[in-house]
Structure 1
Amino acid sequence: MKLALLGTLFLSDKRKDLLILLIERPMNIDEIKTTLNVTSSAMMTQIKILIDQGIILYEDDHYKLSSFGEVIVKKMIPLLNTLMVYEDNKQYWENHKVNGIPTHLLERIEELGVCELVEPELNRMYELPKKLTDNLVKSEYIKEISSSFSPAYPYKYIELARKGVRISLIITEPVFERFETEYSEQLKDYIGMENTELFVCKDDIGFASGVLTDRFLSLTLFYKNGMFHNHAMMSFETGALKWGEDMYRFYRNTSQEVTDI
C-alpha cells in the first residue's frame, strides 16, 4: 500500500500538476482542463486514481484535496522543488561539496528555485564570470561570505564602493591574513569607506563564496577533491534572496568586525 501511494503521487506529471493546482482552491473539470491544457479523458483517469487513494474528493461538481491530501501536497511541494534545483544542474551538485553548506540551509535548498551555472570565459579563467560582474555593478548593496582568496576582489569592491554601492564582506581568518599581507593599502582603503563593512569569521566556512545583492544570489562550492574553480550558481528568485539573507545572518553572528588595521 505504501509503495502504491508513492507511485500514485510521483509517477505521473499530470497527477503532480493536478495536486499542486488544487492546493490553491477546488476546481471543476473544465477549470482543470483549461489550466493544465489537458483533455477530459486523460485527466479523469488520473482523478479516479487520486480519489481511490483518498487524496482528492468530488463534491458539488468540484474536485478538492482531502484533509490529508492537503498535508501530503504541502509536504510534496518542497521535495519537488528540491528535485528541480538538483536536476536542472545535476552535474554541478554531484561534483561539488554540497555538505559545505550549513545543514539548516541545505535542508531549504529548494528555495533557490531556478539556478543558472555561470563561468568565466576560457581566456579569463581567473576573473569573475561576466554575468556576475554585470549584475554586481547594477546592485545597490553586496553581501559576501567567502573562504577563498581572489586578487580581483579588493579592486572590484573598492571600485564599486566608490560608486556608492554598500558592501559587507565576511571572510575567514586565512583570507584576511592574506589580504592584510599582500593588499594592505587596498584593505585600508576599503575599511576607511563609510559604505563598507568587513567581518572576520573564526568558524569554518565550508564553501568558496556566497554573494547576495538586491538582484541575485550566487553560490560557489568547492569540488569534492577540495579544488576551487571560479564559477557560480546564480539565482534571481525572491526565495533565493531570502535564503541568502539567512545565510549571511548566520555567518555574521559568528564574526567580528574589523574597523582598523
Structure 2
Amino acid sequence: MKKPIVEVLVSSEKRRNMLLLLLDGPKEMETILNSLKTNRTALLPQIKILKESHLISKYEDIYKLITIGKLIVEEMIVFLEITNMFGENRDYLGTHFIDFIPTDLLKKLPQLGSCNIIDIPIGDLFDAEKDFFEKAIMSKYWFQITSTLHPVFHEFYVEMIDQGTDVSIIFTQEIYEKIKHDYYDDFKELIDIKLISFYVYPKDLEFVSFILADQSINFRLFTQEGESDNKKMLFSSPASLEWGKELFEYYRQQSIPIIEI
C-alpha cells in the first residue's frame, strides 16, 4: 500500500532532503549520496518510495523531479519556512500580538529567515537602545515607527542627519503631543532643518516600536494582553530589510506629515 504524500514528505528526513536537492535540477546518484552524506544501501529504500509516489523519475543513474514532484516540493518549501519561523520563535510570537501586520506581509514573514529574541534588563532598556542607535549612526537610512520617546532623541537625530542619513519617523499621536509639550524647542529645530520626514499615525499603534536601518530590523511587540515587555526581535537578512521597507511604507501612507508646529 502506498504511503500518503504527506507522510512521504514529513516522515523521512532523507526523502525530504533528496527532494529539496533535486529541486535544483537532475542529479547523479553519486552527487546525491555525497550531498546527503549517506550510502546507496540506506538511500535506495527511500528512492523506491519517492518513485512509487510519482515524485521522481530515473534515467540510467540520474534522478530528477517529475512535474508533480516539483509542484509539491515548491509548496513544501513554503511549509518548511513557516514551521521554521513560527516553530523556532513560538514562545515569543505565540505570546505577542502580530495581527497589525498586513496579510500580504504576514504571509512573507517566514521568508525573513532566523531572528534573535533579546531580553533587555528593565533598568537598561534605554541604554540598550542607545547602543543600537550608536551602531546605526552610519546607516544610509533610518525608518522608525514608535510609541515611545528616547531621552536623547534630539542629539541622535541631529547626528544622523549630519552623517547624511535618510531619516523618517512616525510618531503616535500621544508621543507627538508629548514632544510638543515637553521638547518644543528641540523638535521645532529638527522640523525647521527640513532634513527629517516626521509623521503622526492617527490611530492606535498596535506595537511598541519598529526601526529599520541598513543592517537590521529592531522590533518591539505588545504581548497578547496589550502590555509592553523587555523583549525585542531582531532580523538582519536582506529579505527582512525589503520586508521592513514595505511595512514602513504601509504605515507611512496612513500617517499625516508634520510640516510645522
Please say whether Structure 1 and Structure 2 have the same fold, judged by a TM-score greater than 0.5.
Answer: yes
Q: Given the two structures, how large is their TM-score scaled by the length of structure 1?
A: 0.89
Between the aligned partners of 1:152 and 1:187, the Cα distance in structure 2 is 13
Residue 13 of structure 1 deviates from its aligned partner by 2.2
Match of 1:99 in 2: 99
What's the secondary structure of 1:228's corresponding residue? Answer: coil
Question: Residues 58 and 163 from structure 1, CA distance in 2 versus in 1: closer, same or farther, beyond 3 angstroms?
Answer: same
Point out the more displaced range, 64-73 or 165-174: 165-174
What's the secondary structure of 2:27's corresponding residue? Answer: coil
Aligned amino acid, residue 137 of structure 2: V
Point out the more displaced range, 19-28 or 33-42: 33-42
Residue 163 of structure 1 deviates from its aligned partner by 3.3
Residue 64 of structure 1 deviates from its aligned partner by 1.1
Match of 2:61 in 1: 61
Question: Residues 135 and 26 from structure 1, CA distance in 2 versus in 1: closer, same or farther, beyond 3 angstroms?
Answer: farther
Question: Residues 254 and 60 from structure 1, CA distance in 2 versus in 1: closer, same or farther, beyond 3 angstroms?
Answer: farther
Runs (4+) of structure 1 exceeding 6 A deviation are none
Match of 1:151 in 2: 150
Aligned amino acid, residue 149 of structure 2: S
Match of 1:83 in 2: 83
Between the aligned partners of 1:144 and 1:67, the Cα distance in structure 2 is 45
Between the aligned partners of 1:119 and 1:163, the Cα distance in structure 2 is 30
Structure 2 counterparts to residues 10-25 of structure 1, below 5 A: 10-25=10-25
Residue 121 of structure 1 deviates from its aligned partner by 4.1
Is the CA contact 2:149–2:175 (under 8 Å) kept in the aligned structure 1? no
Structure 2 counterparts to residues 92-171 of structure 1, below 5 A: 92-121=92-121, 123-129=123-129, 132-146=132-146, 148-152=147-151, 154-155=153-154, 156-171=156-171
Q: Deviations over 1:98-125 (max 9, x none)?
A: 2232222111111220111233345413
Between the aligned partners of 1:182 and 1:16, the Cα distance in structure 2 is 59
Q: Deviations over 1:82-137 (max 9, x none)?
A: 21122222211121112232222111111220111233345413444476335422
Between the aligned partners of 1:112 and 1:2, the Cα distance in structure 2 is 36
Between the aligned partners of 1:37 and 1:29, the Cα distance in structure 2 is 12
Residue 39 of structure 1 deviates from its aligned partner by 2.1
Between the aligned partners of 1:23 and 1:216, the Cα distance in structure 2 is 30
Between the aligned partners of 2:226 and 2:240, the Cα distance in structure 1 is 25
What's the secondary structure of 1:77's corresponding residue? Answer: helix
Between the aligned partners of 1:78 and 1:130, the Cα distance in structure 2 is 37
Match of 1:212 in 2: 212
Q: Deviations over 1:6-52 (max 9, x none)?
A: 11111222222222211111111111122222222222222222111
RMSD (Å) for aligned C-alpha atoms? 2.3
Question: What residue ranges of structure 1 are gaps of 5+ in the alignment?
Answer: none
What's the secondary structure of 2:4's corresponding residue? Answer: helix
Q: Given the two structures, how large is their TM-score scaled by the length of structure 2?
A: 0.89
Residue 206 of structure 1 deviates from its aligned partner by 2.2
Between the aligned partners of 1:62 and 1:41, the Cα distance in structure 2 is 17
Aligned amino acid, residue 151 of structure 1: H
Question: Residues 26 and 76 from structure 1, CA distance in 2 versus in 1: closer, same or farther, beyond 3 angstroms?
Answer: same
Is the CA contact 1:128–1:230 (under 8 Å) kept in the aligned structure 2? no
Point out the more displaced range, 94-103 or 185-194: 185-194
Is the CA contact 1:26–1:62 (under 8 Å) kept in the aligned structure 2? yes
Between the aligned partners of 1:251 and 1:165, the Cα distance in structure 2 is 20
Between the aligned partners of 1:166 and 1:211, the Cα distance in structure 2 is 13
